[in-house]
Structure 1
């Protein structure tokens, strides 16, 4: 039988963050499941807790319970865009990932995404996925320096810009737009007509960039809430 919920505790050591995903919830069980999952994550050392529900019959909303409350945090939003009018990339070139540089890619990826909402710390399994058939991943290069990373997933109905990010030392110079245009150009060069990406709506820098670049909302993948103590 499928578990009533799933926990993701991999980010506790690095960030103190943990995630609770409700899989199914019978009538009247919501508070008990939230309380049990919360206690489990706190027992593992989490200091920042997020929860979402995959059960359409048990949608979450902001609310107050005896020991905790839920506060809306973010939507994970699908966005899509045509690739026919992709602007040229400015200031950025792409360097494909090789196994020899896999360690450098993981290290840079984790540095670039450390503060991004709902991000995860990459390890060897993620590198294997990045190297697998149907994926194109690599480095963003600025003036010969490895300045960021990109991930493209070509295995779905639409190609997905799975992730782009720059190191904090090169942000604020308009290079994020150049990186976005570069990966869109990569997809257009592979003769794809349209692409999609997933963005956290509280990642204001990325969300604003994608909207200004012509991406349109195409559906919510998940809605996340913070689990906060009643006091403190």
Structure 2
């Protein structure tokens, strides 16, 4: 998730940024690196402040460098694909005022399996500070219902999201054995979200994965 950044660096940043949070909130260092990508990567980037993230269960069928060229409005920070696997009602506590004011219950949760992000803008809009504030408030009164640092990040990024076209993240290959072959052929990126990863015994669509091994 953070090229060139070690697990040790992620641990140090996690404990520095969230020193008072319960250990359960920082045990997934790879998830936490989403929150501090600007600190981890901006010092290493030379010609651009934009990055592309692909989760480990993805297969690119098109040049992902094109994601870096997406034109974003000035107030936008991140460009995830238009994909939908779950709704906000399944991730967030709608008894929370901040959730009610920010999200719609039936809308899709922003999926972070594939995205382009402008780290300069992420830093300028102080998204990490917003995540920290939400995490502290969540400890006092639950805001989300999933055990993941992605939940406060999704919430903090609201208003700064510009969706990329759907072919950039055709997901559910680890869940649905009846996806349309034409959809898969035309996808820019395939993602095996779900338990049936292509490298497991019960994996789906292994032929598509194995031809690139």
Q: TM-score, normalised by structure 1?
A: 0.22
Q: Which has the higher helix share?
A: 2
TM-score by length of 2: 0.23
Q: Taking CA–CA contacts closer than 8 Å with sequence separation of 6 or more, which of the two structures ends up with the larger relative contact order?
A: 1
Q: Name the one with the larger strand percent.
A: 1
Bigger CA radius of gyration: 1
